[in-house]
Amino acid sequence: MRAVATLSEPTPPEPRPTEPILQVRGLKLSIRTDEGLAAVLDHVDFALAGGHILGIVGESGCGKSTLVRAIVGILPARAMIEAGHIHFLGEDLLGLSEAELNGRVRGRAIGFVPQDPYLALNPVFKVGAQLLEIMRWHAPDRGRKNARRDHRMRLVELLRRVQLPDPEAALERYPHQFSGGQRQRLVIAAALACAPALVIADEPTTAVDVTTQQQILDLIRDLVEEFAFSMLFVTHDLGVVAQLCDDICVIYAGQTVESGPTRDVLAAPNHPYTRALLACHPERSDAFVGIPGVVPSPFRPPPGCRFAPRCTYALAVCPQRMPYLVGGPAGRKVDCVLAEIGAAA
């Protein structure tokens, strides 16, 4: 087992501005498949401070989407959580029943913005009916007198807020009648319909063009400020994180490798993987730089640090055990043996 060196109530150099609203600790998750047991997540640790936007960054197959599904409890039936906790507003989500999750958490306390808004919206129902259904199930004032009328008014206001043209008429239209950017605005409004404390967005801008992406990011930033929710923003694009997120958490092959304030991490990454990832970014190199080797298969993950086989700084100890989580100034954390021995150049 891994000893958590500085995570258990450390004495940070400067106090965090706010309590974490969401804290994932030592999450380990496997999925049974026909080909064997896939160790998808292994030691995922991060905390999302209240009112902050935390960017979860990793390449495809690193377990980002599984992590998101674990938080809202929509994992496939063959998934097993082997260790860890997901603390949200003071309670462990992993201990809640399906009824409790549906009644209090999903759609209500946690809103979700999916990657592909076209798949998330039902093509045969008007968007108004679909968005109102969310409120009928999850809104705090559901069942009250005139609730439906209130919901409709709130929804129109919300659609206006996400800058959807002609919100009244939009309720009567079908998903295919909206452009990609407009559909993204619709699902953002759907996520915010019941005033959640936390919104999870899973790559919400990968399907849209760059100018639309910029508009959506601007909108999200304004909404976070105005509605005072916290956000978990899953992406593979470091540029998007740099523009939007207060904090960043980098995941490699199901392991958290580094987290901290975005600016600090991007300016001076501590983990070799974060450095390699940044070196691939067009702003940091003229030539096309990749990372040698391939992401390990979750069926046969390398022992110890999963990045060790591709790491240019790997030591003999790296494949033998997991590194200890090392805390740094300003809430920075890094999972690397080099950081342990203070040798990270």
Which residues make up the interface to another protein (CB under 8 A)? 59-60, 179-182, 209-215, 217-218, 221, 236-240, 242-243, 263, 266-267, 276-278, 280-291, 294
Q: Are 42 and 301 in contact (CB under 8 A)?
A: yes
* C-alpha torsion 211→213→219→221, nearest 10: -120
Longest dimension (CA), the chain: 68
130 or 262: CB nearest another protein: 262
Residue 300 has which token pair? Answer: 């046969």
The minimum distance between CB 94 and another protein, in angstroms, equals 30
The minimum distance between CB 257 and another protein, in angstroms, equals 14
Give the burial string for 219-254 (b: 16+ CB within 10 Å, else e). Answer: bbeebbeeeebbbbbbbbbbebbbebbbbbbbbbbb
90 — alpha (psi -120 to 50), left (phi > 0) or beta?
A: left
54 or 325: CB nearest another protein: 54
The minimum distance between CB 309 and another protein, in angstroms, equals 14
316 or 345: CB nearest another protein: 345
Helix, coil or strand: residue 45: strand
28 or 263: CB nearest another protein: 263
79 or 217: CB nearest another protein: 217
The minimum distance between CB 242 and another protein, in angstroms, equals 5
Residue owning tokens 């990609």: 180
The minimum distance between CB 118 and another protein, in angstroms, equals 13
